[in-house]
Structure 1
Amino acid sequence: MKEIWFKAVPFDKKLVTLALESGVDGIIVEQSKKKDVAALGRTNVVSPEEFTDVCLKAKEDEETAVSSLRDGKKVVLTTGWEIIPVENILAQSDGLGVEVSSLDQALLAAGILEHGVDFLVVLPEAAPELKDIVSQIKLAQGMVQLQTATVTAVEAAGLGHRVCVDTLSMLKRGQGMLVGNSSAFTFLVHAETESNPYVAARPFRVNAGAVHAYALMPGDKTSYLEELTSGREVLVVSADGSTSIATVGRSKVEVRPMLLIRARLEDGTEGAIFLQNAETIRLVTPAGEPVSVVNLQEGDQVLVKADAAGRHFGMRIREDIKEA
């Protein structure tokens, strides 16, 4: 994940407070102001001297940046950088940072050569957009390709331990987590954003499924639902395929009556998931609408993600694996 630093030079208490509230990774201030920042909140505080600034004006400046990076220095390209020179540097070394003065610049820098720079130094003039910069750079995780699957069975499955994932975020309609019996076939399980006459909405919660199930995680990894604990980051997926990150606040494992739901893609690929038998647990239709598992019927369509099978400790591997 990319680091975001805010440069509060000259020192401005209001801007430092804004940066802390925005969730930046650290703040850059004059050496004499470090203690003032530490008194406002717990964060990383450094002085400008701890970075190596490089202004790209000629080819020699690219070489200086690469050489400094290879020497282990924290290199920052100052205002005025252009894409091609940055690409040249990124192709030769890691650890590069750039100054940005707007959200557009931040998004551009984050996407150069797909990987982007490793960290951003946000200048004071970008303060009005700082919260958007942090949320879009830190939380956004790109897109996943969702497909439409047809439900082939909905069966009672007795009692089982299911996992409620309570996050630190307020999720929206159409959002949830990708969960399934197999890492190669996961269902978009909707967050509890909907209310009914009997139960209030819990938009921070995804009643995600049985303890053994796989959940798709940030960084193209998976985790068993039973392994999700406070402080871990999980992947939140929207019906349009856009993704973001949420932090687990609490994981609740309880015995509940379960349903086994099976579905099939047009190409014949099949998958399954165990979910609690309750009205508040929902999958997502191709239109992005939540559909309760108690109303789910054979022939209904839901959103899923198909992938190649094969994971070892949550990491993708190449191996012949069949998960039923």
Structure 2
Amino acid sequence: MINTSSGVKGKDVQITKEVAVPQDFETAETISRRSSVRLANIRKSSESKRTANDSQLVWFDSAQLASKRPDDGIFVRVINSLYTGIVLYMDNLAELLPAVPSRMHVVLRLRNAAEIKAFRESSPSLVEDFRKGAAARNRSVALSDAEALAELGLDGLLTCFTSYVDDRDSLLGAIDQGLRFNYLWILFRDPTNIPLELVIASLQSTSTVLMKEIKASTDVDDAIVSYGVMEYGAEGVIFSPRDHGVMSEFLARMSQAQSYASLNIQVGTVIESRPAGMGYRACIDAATLFEPDEGMLVGSTSQGGVLCCPEVYFLPYMELRPFRVNAGAVHSYVFNTDNRTDYMSELKAGSPIMLVNSKGRVRRAAVGRMKIEQRPLRLIEVEFSGKERVNVLMQDDWHVRIFSDAAKPLNISELKPGDKILGYVTEPGRHVGIKINETIIEK
């Protein structure tokens, strides 16, 4: 049992930890219904749905709440966190809608003809609220009946088509019907992301916003991964944890993914470059491919580092390694997201790392492999405009490079005082990779 009172005054919310039950999706029935899917080429829309939605969408389905009251612990967390929308129903609308902040998108899910009738015959102010909300894009109605939903759309409402996909026909039907509406809500039966890939490919150039419902309320991994399927990902997910621990994990991982602020990459001047003898250096092989102006920040001190160049440029006698940065000696700091650092020697397969381009744009990747070998080393010392000095020890070879001030590769064996390079400076002082305020001298 988890006893928590997050966001609730004066009482505790008792919630039992859920355990996902694995399902066998390879059965005689599913095998007999299996068939390949051929997609149609859909004309591109003039409206950019990604521009209209300046952040990743996250909706919560209120059907998963333990109570229909606005003081429900999970509900309080949803409306005070990064969730961008909430799904309400006719039987909890009156109770919950007044508590939903104006920034959130409200989706009214109608489940049958009786609920459609009840909505149409409800107070004029409610129906008008949903019409006006359509203009502000913060109100919509959801329904699995495409024709009835189209009629609501004719009344000036934003519309969301709900669908369940378990085979080829239901997949194609969901795409075909979903194109008629503002949102397409899909729940997939099977754990594979292949049908999601097919929907993303079909809808990418359209104005229909894709929302994937996460089948298990405990599956944080599926919720996070859905944003990156085929690199483009779904516009949003509908993830509705009933457990506070699961909710905390999801919010933390989403916040982490969204909080990579750009870094202030600066131009520094080389003041010394000389051989430093033998030592162990590491190549960081990332589980991604570097862009031509992208690299990693590495330095010998917590004051800062230089922007090390990946092996994406011509090398004589060998093929390119566009996943690799020949990064420096094993004692080095590797600068990471959230103002953290890692020692080079600590990194291993699966470790998160930060990639930075010449403009300071940040993205995250994982280490695929660390390759540590003994090589001749070269000391490079750089001074920045504020008189900050950083240095790095790297393999002393022509094919190892750092970025020039023009974001071009500089061979470190040819570096000389006065050369301009790209780097990063910050306040010194680290303890187990975390920034701390202390008096420290590093040299």
Same fold (TM over 0.5): yes
User: Structure 1 residue aligned with 2:232, among 129, 132, 140?
Assistant: 132
**Structure-1 separation of matches of 2:258 and 2:320:** 24
Q: 2:155 aligned with 1:36, yes or no?
A: no
**Structure-1 separation of matches of 2:266 and 2:72:** 44
Contact kept? 2:266, 2:423, Cα under 8 Å: yes
Structure 2 CA distance for partners of 1:278 and 1:254, relative to 1, 3 Å: same
Identity %: 27
Q: 2:352 aligned with 1:233, yes or no?
A: yes
Q: Deviations over 1:95-149 (max 9, x none)?
A: xxx9x9xxxxxxxxxxxxxxxxxxxxx9449834463247998598331110100
2:296 matched residue in structure 1: 177
Q: 2:416 aligned with 1:276, yes or no?
A: no
Higher RCO structure, 1 or 2 (CA under 8 Å, sep 6+): 1
Q: Structure 1 residues 145-154 or 195-204, which shifts more?
A: 195-204
**3-state DSSP of counterpart to 2:440:** coil
Structure-2-length-normalised TM-score: 0.49
1:53 matched residue in structure 2: 61
1:77 matched residue in structure 2: 85
2:439 matched residue in structure 1: 320
Question: Is there any run of 5+ residues in structure 1 with no aligned partner, and where?
Answer: 1-30, 41-50, 56-60, 88-97, 101-121
Matches within 5 A, 1:170-319: 170-319=289-438
**Structure-1 separation of matches of 2:364 and 2:87:** 29
Contact kept? 1:139, 1:244, Cα under 8 Å: no
Structure-1-length-normalised TM-score: 0.65
**Structure-1 separation of matches of 2:70 and 2:340:** 36
Contact kept? 1:54, 1:77, Cα under 8 Å: no
Contact kept? 2:336, 2:353, Cα under 8 Å: yes
**Structure-1 separation of matches of 2:103 and 2:316:** 60
**3-state DSSP of counterpart to 2:232:** helix
Contact kept? 1:149, 1:303, Cα under 8 Å: yes
2:177 matched residue in structure 1: none
Contact kept? 2:267, 2:384, Cα under 8 Å: yes
Contact kept? 2:341, 2:433, Cα under 8 Å: yes
Structure 2 CA distance for partners of 1:36 and 1:197, relative to 1, 3 Å: same
Contact kept? 1:156, 1:260, Cα under 8 Å: yes
Contact kept? 1:140, 1:244, Cα under 8 Å: no
Question: Is there any run of 5+ residues in structure 2 with no aligned partner, and where?
Answer: 1-19, 32-58, 89-96, 106-137, 141-183, 187-195, 205-228, 237-253
1:11 matched residue in structure 2: none
Contact kept? 1:194, 1:280, Cα under 8 Å: no
The CA RMSD measured in Å over matched residues stands at 4.1
Contact kept? 1:62, 1:85, Cα under 8 Å: no
2:281 matched residue in structure 1: 162
Higher strand content, 1 or 2: 1
Q: 2:282 aligned with 1:147, yes or no?
A: no
**3-state DSSP of counterpart to 2:399:** coil
Deviation of 1:300 after TM superposition, in Å, equals 0.5
**Structure-2 separation of matches of 1:54 and 1:253:** 51
Structure 2 CA distance for partners of 1:34 and 1:269, relative to 1, 3 Å: same
**3-state DSSP of counterpart to 2:25:** helix
**Structure-2 separation of matches of 1:308 and 1:139:** 24
**Structure-1 separation of matches of 2:25 and 2:280:** 49
Structure 2 CA distance for partners of 1:242 and 1:140, relative to 1, 3 Å: farther
